[in-house]
Amino acid sequence: MNRLLPFIGFMLLVGLFGFGIWWNTRHDPNAIPTPLLNKPAPTFDLPKLYEPTQTVSKADLLGQPYLLNVFASWCIECGVEHPVLTAAAPTLGVKLVGYNYKDAPADAKAWLAAHGSPYALLIADESGQTAIDFGVYGAPESFLIDAKGVIRFKHIGPITPEVLATKVKPAIAAMLKEAP
Amino acid sequence: MKPGIGNRASPARRLRLAFFIALLTCVGFAHAQAIEPMPFANHAQELRFQHLTHQLRCPMCQNETLADSNAPIARDLRNQIFKLMQQGKSDEEIKQYLVARYSNYILYDPPLRPGTVLLWFGPLAILLAGAGVVLVAIRKRRREGVETTTVGDSADNGEDW
């Protein structure tokens, strides 16, 4: 038995190591859990991208749920999720609002002209100041906000077809079922 | 004898030394300001800012402090912290402000909570367990040692370690 002890200890370490690898394949170590989940979205008042003299506030958007998609022309992964969003937007069940993050308006418009816009509404946060209140730290990020203005779901990183099917759509379905 | 010889430096030498020191100071200053200059009211405020930003983690880059990181979000958060300091917020209030948005991830020192007890005291528990094992082993060996010397030890009794 005494001779087996070091071997058992070694196997425990192997198990721990394996668990670490498995855990990291399941979890993105860069994803920060948002403390804002199921809490009211922060208030904001941001200009529209195409009509900068008009602003859109949180109060303006109350009454119907929307998916707030944080994107920027400088963000490479936004180009990855863009076709997915474009294909999904008509059948999403909620309004898709584009949140242009830390971008020059001219760059954002050129990017949208080149790739097409799946967004029903586009707002611009050029300084990134409001994004701090949302806990945004990069792009893309997406927030599902219900009719009462509560954040129901957040995804960090691009919305791939898999993320859309396994996370975004179920979250939307759960929200719509609860409050049709 | 010329004046200035001996342990006193000549004026030219002194000037050169002063220039060199000034240069070094500039280098140090440039390094401290590598990220961007901020209009601090006084030096104490700057030190407080540096101390605070070194305790906070950049959300974009796992292992950099807000003070060191050049990521755009780190720059924005530094500006925000500066603004909050100007508004008279305490360090604790600023930390709460950031935790409310970016969770405890932003703190390098995780707070002591039920979920972090293992993190805080795990290493100590493992250390104590190890000490216990060593203590038991030593006692056992000492007892065995006393027995074997009375019996008469042979070299190849194959002590198991």
CATH number at residue A96: 3.40.30.10
Residue A42 falls within a domain, yes or no? yes
Asked if the C-beta of A117 comes within 8 angstroms of chain B's C-beta atoms, the answer is no
Torsion angle of the four alpha carbons A82, A83, A89, A92, in this order, in degrees rounded to the nearest 10: -100
Q: How many residues does chain B have?
A: 161
Write out the DSSP string of A33-62: PPTTTTSBPPP-EEEBSS-TTSEEEHHHHT
Strand ranges (E), A52-135: 55-57, 66-71, 95-101, 121-125
Are B103 and A35 inside 8 Å of each other by CB? yes
- Quick check: A161 pLDDT over 90? yes
Q: What is the reported pLDDT for B3? A: 45
In a domain, A13, yes or no: no
**Total Cβ atoms within 10 A of residue A101:** 28
Please state which of the ranges A13-17, B96-100, B111-115 shows the lowest mean pLDDT: B111-115
Q: Is the pLDDT of residue B63 over 70?
A: yes
Number of domains, chain A: 1
Q: What is the mean pLDDT of residues A159-180?
A: 91
- pLDDT score for B33: 44
| Mean pLDDT across B106-116 | 87
Q: Provide ipTM, 2 decimals.
A: 0.85
Residues of A whose CB is below 8 A from B59: 32, 137-138
Instruction: Give the length of chain A.
Output: 180
CA dihedral A17, A18, A19, A25 (to 10 degrees): 110
The predicted structure's pLDDT at residue A179? 66
Q: What's the domain range around A153?
A: 35-178
CB contact under 8 A, B77 and A102: no
Domain residue limits, chain B: 14-110, 112-151
Architecture of the domain made up of B14-110 = Orthogonal Bundle (1.10)
pLDDT score recorded for residue A25:
87
Q: Which of B80, B99, B105 sits opposite A132 (nearest CB)?
A: B80
Q: Rounded to a whole number, what is the distance in Å from the CA of A153 to chain B's nearest CA?
A: 15
pLDDT of residue B111: 85
Residue A156 · residue A141 · CB < 8 Å: yes
Q: A32-41, A57-66, A144-153, B141-150: which has the minimum mean pLDDT?
A: B141-150
Lowest-confidence pick of A22-36, A94-108, A157-171, B41-55: A22-36
